[in-house]
Structure 1
Amino acid sequence: MFSNETALRFLQYSEQKCADLLMQARWPGGFRCPGCGSTAHYRISGRRLPLFACASCRRQCSLISGTVMERSRVPLRKWFTAIALISSRPISAAALADQIRVTYKTAWLMLHKLRSAMSRHEELDRLTGLVRLQLGNAGPRPLPWVRNLSDREHPFVIGGSMEGGPDGHVLGIKLMQDTGGDTYQWKITPQGALRFIDKHVDRSRSAVDLRTDTLGRTRVFSLWKIAMDIGCGINSVHRGVGAKYRQAYLNEYAYRFNQSSRGQNAERHLLHLAAASGAPTRKQLRDRPVPGRPDWDTYRNTRRMIAELKALAARLLPQAS
């Protein structure tokens, strides 16, 4: 992590310097045509940002086409500042708008485009080694005697690659919001565990430990603590997040944790992600379907659910049963 002043250093950069940095991140070996792959090209001058024309197929390509910055009129130094800020810590659209002097709508779109790059990376990267799961919650904690789910509670499943004993050091995490049926009354359901494993675990290079206590809870304290920090962060920084975009915010938190855990420079890594892939438009973001919500009110046979989860745990990791 670095200070806010360090992140804001990009605001002092010239557009030419930022263009050179983006050029290096996108084409480290020099321009390569995205259509035919040729390196032969000529540059068209007289534009705010570099425009290249391929000498082989004649295709024109600007510096920001095919990146998260495509179709954006925001100066590169402000994009770089947003990358530095979100790669270091959670930041709201209102705070970013104030920092880089753009409108709230522009800041909101910039952050969501960067989250889309983070999400693509998190969905491709999978957990390996010894994997354990834990239930998390983004929302105010319920009273101890309340079993049902309030409208402001949003459970999610956190999985981690572990090192050490039953509650060892967490090497990397993945987060999956419950869109219906993945959790039930502070337990992960067998269906939720399988969906998480299929989506986020490399089965050929991992072993999944789903051991539970007598109440059917996984009880991995180190993962629970990370989940609590994430839930509190979402509540305090963003004042809650709607179901339509919640998974993107969870991916953002997972991305930051994983980059820090691996000792990688999250700012540089995110810049390369932003330069290597496009992003959804504002309309595409707003047209996303709203996912379902978990149902903790309808009665479910918890004894059968716990028995099924224990049977699944025995299949996945026989020595843990």
Structure 2
Amino acid sequence: METKPAPQPKTLMEAVRYFADADRTLAMAVELRWPEGVHCPTCGRTDVRFLSTRRIWECKEKHPKRQFSAKVGTIFEDSALPLDKWFVAIWAVANCKNGISSYELARAVGVTQKSAWFMLHRIRIAMDAGSPTKMGGIVEADETFIGGLAKNMHERKRKQRVTAGGGDADKMTVMGLIQRGDGKVASRVHARVIRDRNAKAIQGVVREMVEPGSMVFSDSHMSYRGLSADYFHAYVNHAVEYVRGHVSSNGVENFWSLLKRTVKGTYVSVDPHHLNRYLGEQAFRFNERKDNDLGRFRNVLGSVAGKRLTWKDLTNHALSPAF
């Protein structure tokens, strides 16, 4: 499989031109998925042959699915869309600071809005860090609420979602942790949907994600009380102050600002069952903000294998719980 020599793209315009060449597109997919050489997804054999007329490989071992493409076992599997459309979509969602809507992506790459919506969720699966390493040093913790205003909802949705109490009780609770960076390492964030703001839920996330002995800064919410047994815990009372020396949660609150700007400005409405994917998308862009556009793109493309998402799993809320 020969490819035309060309410098790798640095901008979206260069990416569109670069990936218009099917050979270069396939070569990059192979490079990032199989850095040690192509092998059969079914049996693992490496002595496979490339069928250039169909752009697929065939395993020498006789077994079901002995012929396979670069899409098999990835977020691209069973997609009729060519890789060049997928790659442009990945480039856009990985590098647009406030995300890209399915309507905008549909117009940009020439697919239906339904297909673009499905593409975005599959890309978000690849952007998810999975089980990130534990945080240490100084870690800020905070929660926020994500949900629409009752006055803006359709009457049917308002009856389903809004309780008599109203307010934050009708929104999804999101827990966030941010490890402060230093001069050499940038800060990084982790966010997820939680069931409640009680001590069990909040402290459970902290203990799962933060190394014992680290410094944990939070607000004065009572659910954080009890962390002092394993952490150096300090908090600020936001009714009085927002920072006391080095103690504050301003870093994670800055992330909330970016997240809500994306949700309200770009996506407008986020279904609770999909919220964790949107959190993963925003966390990826925040954590990779020091990289360049090509680096972020390659990072996502290198994570597409083993993360297949079917339409049934995406639309069946029983198979796609919010938390």
Counterpart position of 2:57: 51
C-alpha distance in structure 2 between counterparts of 1:118 and 1:70, whole Å:
17
Name stretches of at least 5 consecutive residues in structure 2 with no aligned partner: 1-9, 151-164, 219-233
The answer as to 2:220 corresponding to 1:212 is no
The letter of the residue matching 2:191 is: L
RMSD: 3.2
The answer as to 2:187 corresponding to 1:171 is yes
Aligned residues: 272
Q: Which one of 274, 277, 283 corresponds to residue 248 of structure 1? A: 277
C-alpha distance in structure 2 between counterparts of 1:139 and 1:116, whole Å:
22
Counterpart position of 2:196: 181
Percent identical across equivalent pairs?
23
Counterpart position of 2:230: none
Taking structure 2 as the reference length, the TM-score comes to: 0.73
- Secondary structure at 1:203 match in 2: coil
Residues 61 and 255 of structure 1: is their aligned pair in 2 closer, same or farther, counting only changes over 3 Å? same
Residues 5 and 86 of structure 1: is their aligned pair in 2 closer, same or farther, counting only changes over 3 Å? same
Residues 244 and 20 of structure 1: is their aligned pair in 2 closer, same or farther, counting only changes over 3 Å? same
Name stretches of at least 5 consecutive residues in structure 1 with no aligned partner: 183-188, 294-321
TM-fit CA distance, 1:6: 4.5
Residues 177 and 7 of structure 1: is their aligned pair in 2 closer, same or farther, counting only changes over 3 Å? farther
C-alpha distance in structure 2 between counterparts of 1:150 and 1:190, whole Å:
18
C-alpha distance in structure 2 between counterparts of 1:92 and 1:42, whole Å:
40
Q: Which one of 282, 285, 289 corresponds to residue 311 of structure 2? A: 282
Residues 16-55 of structure 1: pairs in structure 2 closer than 5 A: 16-47=23-54, 49-55=55-61
Counterpart position of 1:257: 286
Residues 123-272 of structure 1: pairs in structure 2 closer than 5 A: 123-139=131-147, 149-150=167-168, 153-163=171-181, 171-178=187-194, 180-182=195-197, 189-199=198-208, 201-203=209-211, 206-210=214-218, 211-214=234-237, 220-261=249-290, 265-272=295-302
Instruction: Work out whether residues 142 and 252 of structure 2, in 8 Å CA contact, stay in contact via their aligned partners in 1.
Output: yes
Residues 45 and 265 of structure 1: is their aligned pair in 2 closer, same or farther, counting only changes over 3 Å? closer
C-alpha distance in structure 1 between counterparts of 2:69 and 2:322, whole Å:
40
Residues 141 and 122 of structure 1: is their aligned pair in 2 closer, same or farther, counting only changes over 3 Å? farther
Counterpart position of 1:94: 103
C-alpha distance in structure 2 between counterparts of 1:111 and 1:248, whole Å:
10
Instruction: Work out whether residues 134 and 211 of structure 2, in 8 Å CA contact, stay in contact via their aligned partners in 1.
Output: no
The letter of the residue matching 1:42 is: R
TM-fit CA distance, 1:131: 1.6
Counterpart position of 1:75: 82
TM-fit CA distance, 1:4: 4.6
Provide, for residues 146-173 of structure 1, a one-character-per-residue CA deviation record: whole Å limited to 9, x for no partner. Answer: x962577444221100147xxxx96100
- Secondary structure at 1:123 match in 2: coil
- Stretch deviating more after TM superposition (132-141 or 276-285): 132-141
C-alpha distance in structure 2 between counterparts of 1:277 and 1:291, whole Å:
20
